[in-house]
Chain A
């Protein structure tokens, strides 16, 4: 399955490039070519590589392996129709990766990024609500069952629209240059990734490309259903472009505002869940 993982990495990197291009065009700039992130990853892989003297060496390197490993696992969970809770678990592990990446570096910028990743844990709250809402409709947390439910009753995007909005917010909070991207804000250089360069950064780019592929794939699978691969990629691209549009027109929020917005959305969705429970019994 290494070919599929390499394919997903390639598409994920291409999506990152398209994301940058769309943001640039909306903001009236020419922007980089769409394959820029692929070149970026290749460039990093032959840049000089070392571990900073102040870093915790084992953790500094281990997070790169873990970042790639967990999203490879998440891709298998999706493709094999496994449990939605496993996907949720990977999302939580990614938070640990973000945190460990910043703290292990020994850099104050990295540490600021790590602290902000803890603050932005509020972005996981809408994920709880998404999982609960999907369960209330499908009575299962197996991705295969959720897909089968949609084949019988139509896309969850229509009947569980607020849950789709919550999932959309989760993906938005993980996009580069987005309103919730506080962990890599420019005022803290590159945040938790500041000290990871060379091969380590190339590895992280691979992990993040897989993450983008998995999250977009999961969104389409959970709220629209199983599609042929070409159509799936096209729908994923459309979701990505809509995310790019939001990122282009929305300034980055301050750390506490991101928590406020995500908590408010979660609060609204909890009310939605309570209504669903009352109505559906």
Chain B
């Protein structure tokens, strides 16, 4: 996966969760909906941040090919 795409999806998922809780705290969203959104977005946040971490950023070092 493209490094930037993974980061965008991961941050969007985290952002949705944070926004949901802020809205719930302000009384604009039911708490159970905020919880449901977090349950859906938290796995996406974890996996896509890891995929972003994992993805290659372009030109890598020449791999070690043995002695």
Q: Report A's interface with B, CB cutoff 8 A.
A: 1-2, 5, 45-49, 64-69, 72-73, 76, 80, 198-199, 202-203, 206-207
User: Does B39 contact A72, Cβ atoms closer than 8 Å?
Assistant: yes
Cβ < 8 Å to A, chain B residues 30-52: 31, 34-35, 38-40, 42-47, 50-51
Q: Which listed residue, B21, B40, B53, B54, touches A69 by the CB 8 Å rule?
A: B40
The chain A residue sitting closest to B14, CB to CB, is: A2
User: Does A76 contact B43, Cβ atoms closer than 8 Å?
Assistant: no
Give the CA-CA distance A123 to B1 in the complex, in Å. 39
Q: Please judge, given known A-B contacts A2-B17, A46-B53, A198-B54, whether A64 and B47 are in contact too, CB under 8 Å.
A: yes
Does B12 lie at the interface of the complex (its beta carbon under 8 Å from any beta carbon of A)?
Answer: no
User: Does B43 contact A65, Cβ atoms closer than 8 Å?
Assistant: yes
A36 to chain B, nearest CB (A): 18
User: Does B54 contact A199, Cβ atoms closer than 8 Å?
Assistant: yes
Contacts of A66 in B (CB 8 A): 43
Interface size on B, residues (CB 8 A): 20
User: Does B51 contact A1, Cβ atoms closer than 8 Å?
Assistant: no
The interface residues of chain B, by DSSP majority, are classed as helix
Give the CA-CA distance A65 to B35 in the complex, in Å. 16
User: Does A5 contact B42, Cβ atoms closer than 8 Å?
Assistant: yes
User: Does A1 contact B44, Cβ atoms closer than 8 Å?
Assistant: no
The interface residues of chain A, by DSSP majority, are classed as helix
A142 to chain B, nearest CB (A): 15
Q: Please judge, given known A-B contacts A1-B21, A2-B45, whether A45 and B50 are in contact too, CB under 8 Å.
A: yes
| Residue of B38, B40, B46, B53 with most chain A CB atoms under a 10 A cut-off | B46
A75 to chain B, nearest CB (A): 9
Q: Please judge, given known A-B contacts A45-B53, A46-B53, A49-B54, whether A2 and B42 are in contact too, CB under 8 Å.
A: yes
B55 to chain A, nearest CB (A): 9
20 A/B residue pairs, CB under 8 Å, sorted by A: A1-B34, A2-B14, A2-B38, A2-B42, A5-B42, A48-B54, A64-B43, A64-B47, A67-B43, A68-B47, A73-B35, A73-B39, A76-B35, A76-B38, A76-B39, A80-B35, A198-B54, A199-B51, A199-B54, A203-B46
The chain B residue sitting closest to A47, CB to CB, is: B54
The chain B residue sitting closest to A68, CB to CB, is: B43
